[in-house]
Structure 1
Amino acid sequence: MKKFFTKVHVWLSIPFGIIIAIVCLTGAILVFETEILELCYPSRYFVKEVKGEPLSPAVLMDAAGQQLPDSIKINGIRVSSDPKRTYQLILPGKKAACFINPYTGEITGIDDGKGFFMKMMRLHRWLLDEYKRDGSFAWGKAIVGYSTLVLAVIIISGLVIWYPRNKKVLKNRLKIKTKAGGFRFLYDLHVSGGFYAALLLLVLALTGLTWSFGWY
């Protein structure tokens, strides 16, 4: 039985490994989107000086309307309880926003939502394929979805292979040896590290399928 699951584990990992790696890497980047953007564009997210009480949302939206082109519509405002942070004006388009100083009404930056992180999201969700708003079939979305489904099978088959015959083998499979050579270290990292990460990866894979298949 283990030989069968070993073949399943290996031969599914080879063709789908690259796609799974892309999805995992882009997903990890997206997790830190806010932190990266705040580091790269601090003036967008933080005011230089806190000056008394912030202006009301209505006044800020009116001030922004005078600074922005007439073609840009403001759909709403997102305020912050942190006095050092700017407010965000919600613009048309996914993740599009305008940043405004809540004390002066000055616009500090605009994000059209089409930059690096939008590309990362499109790569993560659709492999840069176009998003089909009408729900029609899309190759990128399907490939990501089936690769995620395969990942769940790879994890489960890996656990079957990992399951030890006795307590002595169990002890070895729970440790990562760092002084037995590079190959042994990588082997233990895959076997033991894979076991420790398996539950989390399985949860991520099974919940991620929600965005790929309506039936799921």
Structure 2
Amino acid sequence: MKVLFRNIHLYLSLAAGLVIALVCLTGALLVFEKELQHTIYPHRYKVEVGTQRVPVEQLVATVEKQVPEAKVTAVKLYDSPARSIEVTYKIEEKVQGEEEPKSRTELAFMNPYTGELLEQYNHRNSFFYTVFALHRWLLADDTGKLIVGISTSMFLFILITGIILWWPQNKKILKQRLKLKWDGGWKRLNHDLHIVVGFYTAIFLFAFAFTGLAWSFTWFNDGIYWITGTENVKFEPPVSTPQPEAQAITLDQALATAEQMYPGASYYNLNRPEGPEAAVAFTVMPKEAIHDRASDQIFLDQYSGAVIGTNKFAEKNLGQRIRGTFYPVHVGSIGGLPTRIIALIACIAGFTFPITGVILWINRINKPRKKKKSKKLKDSAVDEVEA
């Protein structure tokens, strides 16, 4: 039976190994993307703490003045006093040969104390977006997305068969397969890096790969709701009630409501209403949130400022809550820093497995050849003696 599992493990690895290595490597780079961004571009994210913040509306006005074609859509504020404020805006541009203009989304990093525009940023033009695009669809749109999905599915079977092949027959073999033998020569070290490290990281890689399928296949995503007996119902935002000659509330008033409802939140993301009947929406990450996707949405009437609707994570159905947990599990942030470190180590290990596995395979192929060659040399020596 192990011969069958070894063949499954081998041929699936040969078929998907290159894609698996690339996805694991890019995944490792993305685990600490935020920290890397903050380290590489500190001027973008860090500001000197002042005594008084400028109004949010003033920041919006500054962006619209310095970028005349910009249409501000949202403002994101963080709990850290030394953190810049992010203003999201859209720019519409005409594309030759197309009737409808296309819009691109950019960020403006603002100093909340001076009102200065620190930097304009387009994520799609960044290094990390390229890494992300490689990770998700190999820079090949739907075709790449399908290849990644199929390779990820194969990876699940590779991990399962790998554990079956690892499973020891006795305690002596168990001890050998639980620790690296550093002084056993390069072949033994390569063997242990594949088998021993593979055992310790398999469960984490399985979780990352399994959750990743939700972004590759619609049927997998829909299956989450089918299994939980729920529906993926899209939340319909409530509408504001237009008042004759009434002025819409400001983003500063919306922020005051958000801070009153969720004091000390990790961040507040304020969305400007689009149209006279749209609500002023804000997304907030409560301090006690169970993970970094457990955010709440609150909707305010844009004229009265009254709360007219909520879309809280805790109020979502089981399928939506499970699906919302897939991302923090996939990127390793579900348990904070410890699980992110585990995700980094596991992804680096996942990158090495196709390499160490191929070396194991080559060594196994060459072993019978060397024995056969050695036997021929011995037989030849015997013939010479007898002669």
Counterpart-to-counterpart distance in 2, 1:17 and 1:91: 41
Could you tell me how far 1:109 is from its partner in structure 2? Answer: 0.6
- Which of residues 79, 88, 91 is equivalent to 2:89? 91
Partner of 1:120: 131
Native 8 Å contact 2:89 2:106 kept in 1 = yes
Are 1:207 and 2:211 counterparts?
yes
> C-alpha deviations, 1:10-40, integer Å up to 9, x for none?
1111121110011111111122221222122
SS of equivalent to 1:194: helix
- Look up the match of 1:7: 7
Equivalenced residue count is: 207
Q: Is the 8 A contact 1:100 1:109 kept in 2?
A: yes
**Runs of 4+ more than 6 Å apart:** none
2:118 partner SS: strand
2:181 maps to which residue? 177
Deviation at 1:64, TM superposition (A): 2.0
Residue 71, structure 1, aligned to residue 69, structure 2: yes
Q: Distance in 2 between matches of 1:56 and 1:75?
A: 16
For residues 214 and 116 of structure 1, the distance between their equivalents in structure 2, rounded to whole angstroms, comes to: 28
Amino acid at match of 2:162: G
Higher alpha-carbon Rg: 2
Q: Following the alignment from structure 2 to structure 1, what is the Cα–Cα distance between the partners of residues 15 and 55?
A: 56
Given that residues 137 and 148 in structure 2 are in contact (C-alpha distance below 8 angstroms), is that contact kept between their aligned partners in structure 1? Answer: yes
Normalised by the length of structure 2, the TM-score is 0.52
* Structure 1 gap segments, 5+ residues each: 131-137
Q: CA deviation at 1:77?
A: 0.5
Q: In 2, are the aligned partners of 1:89 and 1:100 still within 8 Å (CA)?
A: yes
RMSD of equivalent CA atoms: 1.4
Deviations 1:72-129 (A, max 9, x none): 2211110011111110111337873110000011100111112211111111111102
Q: Which stretch of the first structure deviates more once superposed, 32-41 or 85-94?
A: 85-94
Equivalent of residue 140 in structure 1, options 141, 144, 167: 144
Quote the offset at 1:192 in angstroms: 0.8
Q: Measure the CA separation in 1 of the matches of 2:73 and 2:195.
A: 50
- Give the Cα–Cα distance (whole angstroms) in 1 for the partners of residues 196 and 27 of structure 2: 23
TM-score, normalization by structure 1: 0.91
Corresponding position: 1:46 with 2:50: no
Deviates more, 1:70-79 or 1:197-206: 70-79
2:46 and 2:83 in contact (8 A); partners too: yes
Matching residue of 2:191: 187
The answer as to whether partners of 1:94 and 1:113 remain within 8 angstroms in 2 is no
Q: 1:95 to 1:122 in 2, by over 3 A?
A: farther
SS at match of 2:87: strand
C-alpha separation in 1, matches of 2:189 and 2:213: 32
* Kept after mapping to 1: 8 A contact 2:5/2:161: yes
d(CA) in 2 for partners of 1:122 and 1:87?
26
Once residues 89 and 218 of structure 2 are traced to their aligned partners in structure 1, the CA distance between those partners, rounded to angstroms, is 28
